[in-house]
């Protein structure tokens, strides 16, 4: 792993970060088509930076922090922006953000027990993919009324399925963390009993 800062993947991640305020301005002023284009550009650069990092030996410490942070920030900004312009209902945004907040708290609890972050669960990946599909689909329905008859039901199906998988993964993370903490406590209690004897 490289400690370099200036790499193609890091530049692409920075580009995605700079696109966030542009996307929000376009959304707020009603340029839904251009906002949709920026979501597409963000998705493409996200794929390209991961591909380049893996296949051209440009994985860096900065990239491992920057890429997921920008992804989460872009998703959060998109959710809030789409709710602000009434493309998404606020309750859906609240449900998604509540799950992320729960996992943030879980991460603090694990850190207090000297555990690192849990490995990404495939359910979480599937849920994230579904939500990432839902957002541009619903935006496309708002931007282009001619495709709304197809984009709207597809977007809503993906959103509901994504939220379900998202929370299912969240419950799986909680159960895994509880099991890990319980095993540590049992091991500590067993060691204490052995010493006392």
Q: Minimum mean pLDDT among 23-32, 131-140, 180-189: which range?
A: 180-189
The residue-averaged pLDDT of 48-63 equals: 72
Give alpha helix (H) positions in the chain: 8-28, 32-55, 61-84, 90-112, 122-143, 148-196
Quick one: pLDDT at residue 1?
54
Flag whether pLDDT at 58 surpasses 70.
no
The residue-averaged pLDDT of 1-6 equals: 64
Cα 191 from Cα 194, distance rounded (Å): 5
The residue-averaged pLDDT of 84-89 equals: 93
Contact present, 38 and 22 (Cβ < 8 Å): yes
Q: Please report, in angstroms and rounded to a whole number, the separation of the first and last CA atoms in the chain.
A: 47
Task: Name, of 45-54, 145-154, 170-179, the range with top average pLDDT.
Answer: 145-154
Quick one: pLDDT at residue 141?
93
Contact present, 162 and 134 (Cβ < 8 Å): yes
Flag whether pLDDT at 34 surpasses 90.
yes
Q: Which tops the pLDDT comparison, 191 or 27?
A: 27
The residue-averaged pLDDT of 119-136 equals: 84
Residues 104-127 as b or e (16 or more Cβ within 10 Å = b)? eebbeebeeeeeeebeebebbebb
Q: Which tops the pLDDT comparison, 93 or 122?
A: 93
Quick one: pLDDT at residue 185?
82
Quick one: pLDDT at residue 50?
74
Quick one: pLDDT at residue 113?
81
Task: Name, of 106-115, 125-134, 152-161, 181-190, the range with top average pLDDT.
Answer: 152-161
Quick one: pLDDT at residue 196?
57
Q: Which tops the pLDDT comparison, 63 or 71?
A: 71
Quick one: pLDDT at residue 4?
67
């Amino acid at each position: 792993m490289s400690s370099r800062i200036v790499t193609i993947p890091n530049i692409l991640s920075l580009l995605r970060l700079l696109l966030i305020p542009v996307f929000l301005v376009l959304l707020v002023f009603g340029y839904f088509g251009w906002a949709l284009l920026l979501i597409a550009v963000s998705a493409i650069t996200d794929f390209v930076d991961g591909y380049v990092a893996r296949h051209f030996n440009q994985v860096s410490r900065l990239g491992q922090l920057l890429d997921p942070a920008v992804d989460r920030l872009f998703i959060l900004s998109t959710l809030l922006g789409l709710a602000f312009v009434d493309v998404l209902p606020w309750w859906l945004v609240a449900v998604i953000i509540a799950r992320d907040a729960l996992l943030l708290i879980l991460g603090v609890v694990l850190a207090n027990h000297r555990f690192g972050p849990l490995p990404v669960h495939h359910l979480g990946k599937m849920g994230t993919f579904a939500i990432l599909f839902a957002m541009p689909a619903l935006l496309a329905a708002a931007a282009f009324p001619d495709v709304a008859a197809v984009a709207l039901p597809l977007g809503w199906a993906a959103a509901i399925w994504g939220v379900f998988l998202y929370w299912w993964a969240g419950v799986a993370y909680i159960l895994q963390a509880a099991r890990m903490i319980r095993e540590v406590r049992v091991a500590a209690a067993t060691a204490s009993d052995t010493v006392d004897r």
